[in-house]
Amino acid sequence: MTITAKKKAEIMKKFGRSENDTGSTEVQVAVLSERIRNLTEHFKIHKQDKHGTRGLLRLVANRRSLLDYLKREDMGRYHAVITELGLRK
């Protein structure tokens, strides 16, 4: 359910503006998306995990607010991130 350090480093390298970029909006959205994918796979097996479902909803809301911010600030970066991650608008 968690992201390994290796996977997180790959995400930061792919979406970051520099090698050690961990705080940019694109990196945060990409990390959240990976965590959401992992939790979604977990819930296919563990359907009754209600506490985890609540956490998933918090992650989705956080990602949505980051995407809204990115859309307000720079539409080009927003479109690049959602197409790269395969997210709906």
The separation between the first and the last C-alpha atoms of the chain, rounded to the nearest angstrom, is 25
Q: Is 71 exposed, middle or buried (0-12, 13-18, 19+ CB in 10 A)?
A: middle
Q: Is residue 89 classed as helix, strand or coil in its secondary structure? A: coil
pLDDT at 30: 96
Closest CA to 12 of 34, 27, 29, 32: 27
Q: What is the CATH number of the domain that holds 36?
A: 1.10.287.10
Query: Each residue's pLDDT tens digit in the chain (89 positions)?
Result: 688 999 999 999 999 988 888 899 999 999 999 999 999 999 999 999 999 999 999 999 999 999 999 999 999 999 999 999 999 87
- The parent domain of residue 13 ranges over 5-85
Provide the number of structural domains found in the chain. 1
pLDDT at 1: 65
For the stretch 54-60, contacts whose Cβ atoms lie closer than 8 Å and that sit 24 or more positions apart, written own/partner, are: 59/32, 59/35, 60/36
pLDDT at 2: 81
